[in-house]
Amino acid sequence: MFKIGIVGGTGYTGVELLRILATHPDVRLHTITSRSEAGQSVAAMFQNLRGHVDLSFAEPSLDLLSECDLVFFATPNGVAMKMVPDLLAAQVKVIDLSADFRLRDAALWARWYGQEHACPEWLPEAVYGLPEFYAEEVAAARLVANPGCYPTSVQLALLPLLRWPGVDLEHIVADCKSGVSGAGRQAHLSSLLAEAGDSFKAYGVAGHRHLPEIEQQLSSYAAAPVRLTFVPHLLPMIRGIHATVYVRVSADIAELQHHYEQYYAGQPFVDVMPAGSLPETRSVRASNLCRLALHRPQGGDTIVLLSVIDNLVKGAAGQAVQNMNLMLGLPQDRGLLHVPVLP
């Protein structure tokens, strides 16, 4: 059994990690840290974990975390980068669910996140943890940067198309919507039920932190600059992301459908739906699945890609466990074959 630690176990991502890992057959939760809740029983805070997790929250301690085989950071941006070098020196593998290691350029990171990077020398070693494309690199990694939720939904939709002949890489539009849990568990006025319910709005239109992450990865995969107009929206629901991506390319839609089906054949967590499908966020709730569909409206030159994920699972904790499985030499679907929850 592998010993697992979680730094920052009180947020929505942290409790999703706990939910998934509590029944994983090959790991044992060794420590779960929280400065504010140290000493409190995990099951007392999250009653869904009663009978599954018998630990209490502990103060973050390098000695305690160094006893683990792998540590997850489910912390705000800027926390992991201060502790990761010491853990790596102690031969502990790390998966960071924050943005600390997603961008390769420390100056770009500082510009978007408003602080200097604490360990820029580790950025080149961090592997971007999108398993459908970088499984071999993840399996050999000591440090994995878990992708953001919006970037996951957009990249899984786009990456198979980026090397298609004649695709327009300069005018891609990603119109994305997320449930309020994407804002985290801290109290924010905009995510209160009375504020978000019965309403719908865009945010981050002038620039969102996920934009440089998405463009970096798309450009790397395409081996050419990719320019994206990315507009996120807040939906009055708890879980889920729906990404509608528009790409100009002259291609037969049936040929593209076959290409996507072949591209993702054998990938356990990407479901390319039948032609003409309209995937719903509720069809992936509480699962590690991404469902995709392709359309070419009015027979024009624009392909519309529809991508749905659960932002807390495939967009965060589930994908992190998928990466963990690869890093520990386990099948990547181990402990993750949860059927989506309906209604």
Domain spans, the chain: 2-125, 150-310
Among the options 119, 149, 176, 290, which is catalytic? 149
In three-state secondary structure terms, 31 is strand
Q: Mean per-residue pLDDT for 12-19?
A: 95
- Say how far apart CA 168 and CA 288 lie, in whole Å: 30
pLDDT at 241 over 80: yes
pLDDT at 16 over 70: yes
pLDDT at 187: 65
pLDDT band at 186; cut points 50, 70, 90: confident
> What would the CATH number be for the domain defined by 150-310?
3.30.360.10
pLDDT at 190 over 80: no
Same CATH topology for 2-125 and 150-310: the answer is: no
pLDDT at 212 over 80: yes
pLDDT band at 154; cut points 50, 70, 90: very high
Q: Mean per-residue pLDDT for 36-56?
A: 93
Q: pLDDT of 294-318, one tens digit each?
A: 999 998 899 999 999 999 999 999 9
Residue type at 119 in one-letter notation: C
pLDDT at 183: 77
The contacts of residue 157 (CB under 8 Å, 6+ apart) are 243, 245, 292, 305, 306, 307
Residue type at 235 in one-letter notation: L
pLDDT at 5 over 90: yes
119 belongs to the catalytic site: no
Q: pLDDT of 71-110, one tens digit each?
A: 999 999 999 999 999 999 999 999 999 999 999 999 999 9
pLDDT at 194: 81
Is domain 2-125 in CATH 3.40.50.720, yes or no? Answer: yes
In three-state secondary structure terms, 94 is strand
Q: Mean per-residue pLDDT for 326-342?
A: 97
pLDDT at 165: 93
Of all residues in the chain, what percent carry a pLDDT higher than 90? 91
pLDDT at 285: 98
* 49, two tokens: 């974990």
* 230, two tokens: 């990315």
